[in-house]
Structure 1
Amino acid sequence: MSASLTALLGFMAWTLVLLVLMEAIRSKLVLTGEVPANGFNPENTNLSPFMQRLARAHANCLEGLPIFGGLLLLAAVAGKTSVTDPLAYLLLAARIVQSVIHLASLSPAAVTARFTAFAVQVGIAVYWVVRLAA
């Protein structure tokens, strides 16, 4: 499997890890009677700050998947993974770093670091679009 497809798999797996973590914590909250089964909202705004950050980190992955994953898939289908392979793992690493920082803190320094990780992803995507279109 090419680096591009491996990174795409990693992106989807990371998104799934965040979802499984969120649902495991929600299940514990229901089983312990802390929250009724119908007491959740999509943003987890009625739960702890960590759970709210977890919901946003997961949503960020879902929002980015069509763009970043789409470019990786397009390159693979078009036989142009030579464009995306060199930066595919960096894109995945930047996504994971962004999520981990999001889960850890909302301090100004953390938000700046998280934005930097996102900017790396956007920069890579723009570069890929230009190269794939050429």
Structure 2
Amino acid sequence: MSVSATVLLLFISWTIVLLLAMEIVRGYLVLAGRVKSNEFRPDNANLSPFMQRLTRAHANCLEGLPVIGGVLLLALATGRSDVTDALAPWVLLARVVQSSIHVASTSNLAVNARFAAFAVQIGIAIYWVWMLLLA
């Protein structure tokens, strides 16, 4: 499997890990009798700030997947993973960093660091698109 394909699989896996973490906590809250299973809001607004941040981190992955995943899939489908292979691990690292910061804190410094990680991902995606268009 190419680097790009591996990174795409790991990006999807990271998204699943965040979802599982959220559902494990939700399951615990139901089993502990703290929340009824029909009381969960889609954004977890009625739960702890941690759960709200976890929900947003997961949603950010879902929002980024069509862009990053789409470009990676396009490169793979057209046999141009040479364009994406070198920077693909950096996109994944930036995504994991962004999600981890998102879950950990909403301080000003954390939000700025999270944005920097996001900017790395978008910058790389723009570069990939440009390189694929030139090919």
State the TM-score, normalizing by the size of structure 1.
Answer: 0.99
For the residue of structure 2 that corresponds to 1:45, the secondary structure is coil
Paired residue for 1:17? 17
Deviations, residues 33-64 of structure 1 (Å, cap 9, x unaligned): 00001010110000000000000000000000
Asked whether 1:107 is paired with 2:104, we answer no
| Alignment gaps of 5+ in structure 1 | none
Give a deviation string over 1:107-130, Cα, whole Å, max 9, x none.
Answer: 000000000000000000000000
| Residues in 1 aligned to 2:98 and 2:15: alpha-carbon distance in whole angstroms | 12
Residues of 2 paired with 1:5 and 1:71: CA distance? 11
> What do residues 61-112 of structure 1 show as CA deviations (whole Å, max 9, x unaligned)?
0000000000001000000000000000000000000000000000000000
| 2:131 alignment partner in structure 1 | 131
1: distance between equivalents of 2:92 and 2:73? 14
Q: Measure the CA separation in 2 of the matches of 1:106 and 1:61.
A: 17
Following TM superposition, by how much is the alpha carbon of 1:14 offset from its aligned partner in structure 2, in angstroms? 0.1
Residue in 1 aligned with 2:68? 68
Instruction: Please name the residue that 2:89 is paired with.
Output: 89
Q: Give the total of aligned pairs.
A: 134
Q: Corresponding residue for 1:48?
A: 48
User: Which residue of 2 is the match for residue 118 of structure 1?
Assistant: 118
SS at match of 1:122: helix
C-alpha deviation, 1:30, in angstroms: 0.2
